[in-house]
Amino acid sequence: MILAQWLLSGWSVAVIVADWHARRIPNGLLLAVCGGVVLYWGWAGEGVLGQTWRSSLIGFGLGVTVWLPGYLWGQVGAADVKLAACCGLVLGAYPTVVWLLLSSLLLGCVSIVVKVAPGLAQRLRQRDAQAGRVIPAGACMMPAFVAVMWWPAFAGSGLSG
């Protein structure tokens, strides 16, 4: 499980870099993790973080359900919805709820900073002029994902799904 956490932490950094610099999260990054999770289920009979397949599917559904309205209203990109589904699949049900709360809190804090610092908002807006979105939501989601994923290792108790 520790190896999976380190690999997923590296994946998180790749997602942050891609979303921050290009405002795109490549489908290959998402498919690699989702495919790896499914293959691991077939091999080990449980998720990469020890969750059941039911818990992972609930997490997947939670990620889509929470982020899809933002996409439909034009506030986040489709990749952010796919990323939320992928993170939910990896984490499982209960950790996904915690992750959604933390990532929403982080996104809200970044939104406040951008609102208070108009120069920052202008620079961010120039990066993604065609989409009109200022804040890279995926880059805000991943620190919360890493925190929730590593929590049991540091706290000694479970956010097990």
Select, from the ranges 49-53, 107-111, 129-133, 140-144, the one with the highest average predicted confidence (pLDDT): 140-144
For residue 158, pLDDT over 70 is answered with no
Alpha-carbon distance 55 to 94, whole Å? 8
**Does 132 or 81 have the greater pLDDT score?**
81
Alpha-carbon distance 25 to 4, whole Å? 21
pLDDT band at residue 118 under the 50/70/90 scheme: confident
107, 80 contact by CB (below 8 A): no
Output the pLDDT for position 110: 86
Output the pLDDT for position 127: 60
What confidence tens digit (pLDDT) does each residue in 83-100 have? 999 999 999 999 999 999
Comparing CA positions, the residue from 70, 63, 141 lying closest to residue 55 is 63
- Model pTM? 0.85
CA angle centred on 117, ends 131 and 109, rounded to 5°: 75
- Amino acid symbol at 85: A
Q: What is the mean pLDDT of residues 51-78?
A: 93
What confidence tens digit (pLDDT) does each residue in 41-50 have? 889 888 888 8
**Does 11 or 152 have the greater pLDDT score?**
11
**What is the DSSP code (8-state) at residue 156?**
S
